């Protein structure tokens, strides 16, 4: 029987999908607060950097996959303007609802749509979008190659696929401190703030299991991107991969 990783455990694909949904059902209420606490607010700068690489102009169409509470989606909506369209998708209904509410509170309504969808089988026609983004979501996807291929399929020629994700520190001096923070501080913080240490222990494990920078770039090329490169942020703790379709 085929198995996939759920953190350090090997489970069936169906079980991973169900478990990931359970994790985000649990953390949805404290997701934004925990992002700020876990990264010291740096996640905002990483997302701002990603948005600077979209190449979007007013009137274009953008897709944010695994959009969560909508940080990247809101930025895409501002870039395409009222003449364009930003579609936000997530497999988790609770996270998508929170993202919708946040964008409504920000007055971003006319140029956005929200779709409950699995990244592995996006329900959109080929060549529908000028840019596709996924921020801190790919490592939770059950079938990463299928998700990358699905995102590539809906890109127009000249479009870009942006994958913002935790990655592998490039400086050896960072690794011990980073590992200690991931496996000691994060679960404890999740237990105190969100009442769920186990979900944050999984999130730490999922970061360790995620492909390194060069491997993910190769996977993007295999999925159909004509070029793929990456920018290391925070010493490689986070990387932004940019795939281009010619």
Domain CATH code at residue 129: 3.40.50.150
Tell whether the model's pLDDT for residue 217 goes beyond 80.
Answer: yes
Range of the domain at 233: 4-244
pLDDT at 232 over 80: yes
At which residue do the structure tokens 């790919």 appear? 138
Per the structure, how many domains does the chain have? 1
| CB contact set of 105 (below 8 Å; sequence gap of 6+) | none
**In the predicted structure, residue 196 carries a pLDDT above the cut 90:** no
243: phi > 0 → left, psi -120 to 50 → alpha, else beta; which? beta
Q: What is the rounded distance in angstroms from the CA atom of residue 59 to the CA atom of residue 70?
A: 20
Q: Per-residue pLDDT for 172 more than 90?
A: no
Q: Give tens-digit pLDDT for 89-107.
A: 999 999 999 999 999 999 9
Q: What's this model's pTM, rounded to 2 decimal places?
A: 0.95
Q: At residue 1, does pLDDT exceed 80? A: no
What integer pLDDT is reported at residue 34 of this predicted model?
Answer: 81
pLDDT above 90 for 113? yes
Contact 228, 221 (CB under 8 A): yes
Contact call for residues 103 and 109 (beta carbons, < 8 A): yes
Q: What is the pLDDT of residue 16?
A: 94
């Amino acid at each position: 029987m085929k198995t996939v990783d759920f953190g350090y455990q090997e489970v069936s694909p169906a079980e991973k999908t169900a478990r990931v949904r359970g994790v985000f059902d649990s953390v949805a209420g404290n997701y934004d607060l925990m992002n700020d606490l876990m990264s010291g607010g740096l996640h905002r700068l990483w997302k701002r950097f990603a948005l600077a690489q979209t190449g979007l102009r007013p009137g274009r169409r953008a897709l944010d996959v695994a959009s969560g509470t909508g940080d990247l989606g809101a930025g895409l909506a501002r870039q395409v303007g009222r003449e364009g369209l930003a579609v936000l998708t997530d497999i988790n209904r609770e996270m998508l609802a929170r993202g919708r509410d946040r964008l409504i509170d920000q007055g971003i309504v006319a140029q956005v749509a929200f779709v409950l969808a699995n990244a592995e089988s996006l329900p959109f026609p080929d060549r529908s979008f000028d840019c596709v983004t996924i921020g801190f979501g790919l490592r939770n996807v059950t079938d990463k190659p299928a998700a990358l291929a699905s995102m590539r399929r809906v890109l127009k020629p000249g479009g870009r696929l942006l994958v913002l994700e935790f990655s592998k520190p490039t400086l050896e001096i960072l690794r011990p401190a980073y590992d200690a923070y991931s496996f000691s501080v994060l679960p404890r913080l999740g237990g105190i703030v969100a009442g769920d240490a186990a979900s944050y222990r999984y999130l730490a494990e999922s970061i360790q299991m995620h492909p390194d920078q060069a491997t993910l770039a190769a996977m993007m090329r295999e999925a159909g991107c004509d070029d793929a490169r990456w920018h290391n942020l925070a010493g490689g703790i986070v990387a932004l991969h940019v795939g281009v379709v010619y």
